[in-house]
Chains A and B, each alone.
Chain A
Amino acid sequence: GQQLNQSPQSMFIQEGEDVSMNCTSSSIFNTWLWYKQDPGEGPVLLIALYKAGELTSNGRLTAQFGITRKDSFLNISASIPSDVGIYFCAGPTGTASKLTFGTGTRLQVTL
């Protein structure tokens, strides 16, 4: 089946730094979704991308739908402590009835 590989697996950064992470697939996706999971909570949808090349922002977060449709990128600017969590990419598979999730990027922010 389709797999989504996220990089890096974990990051330790200082408050105020910018963050970049990516998600790659061996197959084409028509939609890319980015979720954040806070400790002890369920994933929350951050950004949805529907078109190759699309660049979408949500506050300090910016995500891009790769031109090849096999990758997506998430950037966080000026990180703050509440950015701590696990970031997942996801995309619809099969008849778009299911989502495939990446393995996540764990972000730690130090003061």
Chain B
Amino acid sequence: DADVTQTPRNRITKTGKRIMLECSQTKGHDRMYWYRQDPGLGLRLIYYSFDVKDINKGEISDGYSVSRQAQAKFSLSLESAIPNQTALYFCATSDPGVPGNEQFFGPGTRLTVL
């Protein structure tokens, strides 16, 4: 079984709709991250969390919110989706005890906002 799972894998929605993307991990890592990937722009950090009570904004948090429901679960919400939020979204985890902040990624969610 995969260590980091994301649901759904693909989603098409309309402008103005509320969308939630979910991430679960079985790695036992405290740290979790949400990234967005656009063609030619690499990975950009949206939000990250170091434990259940910790939430931090990344470089592109506007228009997004997150919830860390448990150590193993970290969800990303788009309160009112807009077309320029069409992208690939990745969840990642890391163990703070490992030097260099090596991160492990889920398979991604492809989101299309019409």
| A residues apposed to B, CB below 8 Å | 1, 30-31, 33, 35, 40-45, 48, 50, 88, 90, 92, 96-99, 101-104
With a cutoff of 8 Å between Cβ atoms, the chain A residues found around residue B48 in the complex are 97-98
The answer on a CB contact under 8 Å between A33 and B45 is no
Can you show 20 pairs from A to B with CB atoms below 8 A apart? A1-B59, A31-B99, A33-B100, A33-B102, A35-B105, A40-B107, A41-B107, A42-B105, A45-B102, A45-B103, A50-B100, A90-B103, A92-B100, A92-B101, A97-B31, A98-B45, A98-B58, A99-B45, A99-B101, A103-B42
Main secondary structure of the interface of A (DSSP, over half): loop
Known contacts: A42-B107, A42-B108, A97-B48. The answer to whether A103 contacts B102 by CB under 8 A is no
Closest Cβ neighbor of A32 among chain B residues: B100
* Interface status of B43 (Cβ within 8 A of chain A): yes
Q: Which of B83-114 contact A (CB under 8 A)?
A: 90, 92, 99-108
State how many residues of chain B have any CB contact under 8 Å with chain A: 25
The answer on a CB contact under 8 Å between B102 and A43 is no
With a cutoff of 8 Å between Cβ atoms, the chain B residues found around residue A48 in the complex are 100, 102
